Copies of this chain bind each other. A is one copy, B any other.
């Protein structure tokens, strides 16, 4: 049996066959083959349970290997790391040539059409808007009850038939969408993965809400929602269908910049100067909006803190001070005191109620404003990469004459590159127009919701105070 070093604190979920371990602790691996990212371990007190495999470092290997072998393994690891980095780099940055200079766009694949709409280039939108509901989080088990997880129902409005998905499936979908569309379409990250506390009700609710937000955004995107991988996720028929679809999606070669080879704008080619201007404009806009959104988030966080911390405490203290004075008055022994003391006690209680309302309000309004802006922060965080691909392509086209002169490319290649960068620009414009129209809808909606709840909040306070007021009398 191998011994292992615990790298991070991990607190077991009760009733879930897990083992609580502390950073620096040494445990013994009792079963490395349980799968699902977990291994079974035993601590020094003899307790056995599951621990996330990322949380521990198995020592056995280095312990039994000669230093030479260890060095060799290290070398191999570094090599793989370099290959991996190169691949990522190729997709995102040195990518453009892959598309700009590819001999001929692959045949027979799905086409993504761009129309000229009123606002400029737009994606082809489906007649019926795809939508889905993420609901019914249920604790599932596997490995004969050894491991638990949360499974959600995902119900698309097309079939109305729920399919089951765990967080890791959403994560798989995210990775596929990022690979496939990331150069053209910002694919926002999923809500953070979390190991501890993941069975707490509050957390499950919050994660589901965020998964719903993410799915809604993906459904609303005409290109993403129309893709095979996304449709598979929403409508797979059975386990076999899902597995087959997964394998197919993982082998998809139309990823990275090659996505642009599927795009067909129904419009004349653009002047490279115009392409660059558009790209710069989008870059400035998304940067400015990113700043604005982050500013609003900072302000909102501070307001949240005040509303849930010092402010209700203060209203509570006002309420207590009124009630305290009222109880002193009650002790006066003076006749006809009751009307005043009842009224003051009631006013005091009203301020305590206001305190509670103030503390609870952010969950009812600010929460959605923050969630919306958090989503946009995530989305805007993807734009530098997406725009980076376009900028690299533009630079390549600008080098065209030099490359021809150096016989690195043919004059025909140069023409092809200009044509293809124009296609990329149409795609970026279509995406920006999609972004803008969604943004206008989202901000209208969230501001409406926020202000509506704020109105209710202030009206309720006014109503409560009016009732408190009516109890006082100077007659």
Contact = CB atoms under 8 A, between A and B. Distances in A.
Interface of A: 118-119, 281, 284-285, 288-289, 291-293, 295-296, 299-300, 302-303, 306, 310-311, 314, 317-318, 321-322, 324-325, 328-329, 331-337, 339-340, 343-344, 347, 432-433, 436-437, 439-441, 443-445, 447-448, 451-452, 454-455, 458-459, 461-462, 465-466, 468-469, 472-474
Given A444-B340, A445-B474, A458-B461, A119 B334 contact: yes
B447 A454 contact: no
A333 B444 contact: no
B347 A447 contact: yes
A455 B464 CA distance: 9
A436 B328 CA distance: 12
27 contacts: A118-B335, A119-B335, A119-B336, A281-B333, A288-B331, A289-B328, A291-B328, A293-B325, A295-B324, A296-B321, A296-B325, A302-B314, A302-B317, A306-B311, A306-B314, A325-B443, A334-B436, A343-B447, A344-B443, A444-B472, A448-B473, A451-B466, A451-B469, A451-B472, A455-B469, A458-B461, A462-B462
Nearest to A289: B328
B451 A465 contact: yes
Nearest to A350: B451
Nearest to A456: B462
A334 to B, nearest CB: 4
Contact of A465 (B314, B440, B458, B469): B458
B472 A447 contact: yes
A291 to B, nearest CB: 8
A314 to B, nearest CB: 6
Q: Which 4 A-B pairs have the closest CB atoms?
A: A451-B469, A458-B462, A334-B436, A292-B325
Most B CB contacts (10 A, CB to CB) among A332, A339, A432, A436 go to: A332
Nearest to A437: B334
Interface of A, secondary structure class, is helix
A322 B310 contact: no
A288 B343 contact: no
Stoichiometry (number of copies) = 2
B458 A347 contact: no
A410 B310 CA distance: 66
Contacts of A447: 343-344, 347, 469, 472
A281 B331 CA distance: 9
Given A302-B317, A329-B439, 7 more contacts: A118-B335, A292-B324, A296-B325, A334-B433, A444-B474, A455-B462, A462-B462
Contacts of A334: 119, 432-433, 436-437, 440
A332 B285 contact: yes
A375 to B, nearest CB: 14
A350 to B, nearest CB: 9
Contacts of A333: 281, 285
A21 B237 CA distance: 93
Contacts of A310: 306
A284 B332 CA distance: 9
Nearest to A436: B334
A373 to B, nearest CB: 9
A257 B241 CA distance: 103
A451 to B, nearest CB: 4
A450 to B, nearest CB: 9
Contacts of A433: 334
A473 B469 CA distance: 37
Contacts of A437: 334
Given A285-B331, A321-B296, A440-B337, A448 B474 contact: yes
A122 to B, nearest CB: 11
A229 B440 CA distance: 75
Contacts of A329: 289, 439-440, 443
Contact of A473 (B303, B444, B462): B444
Contacts of A474: 441, 444-445, 448
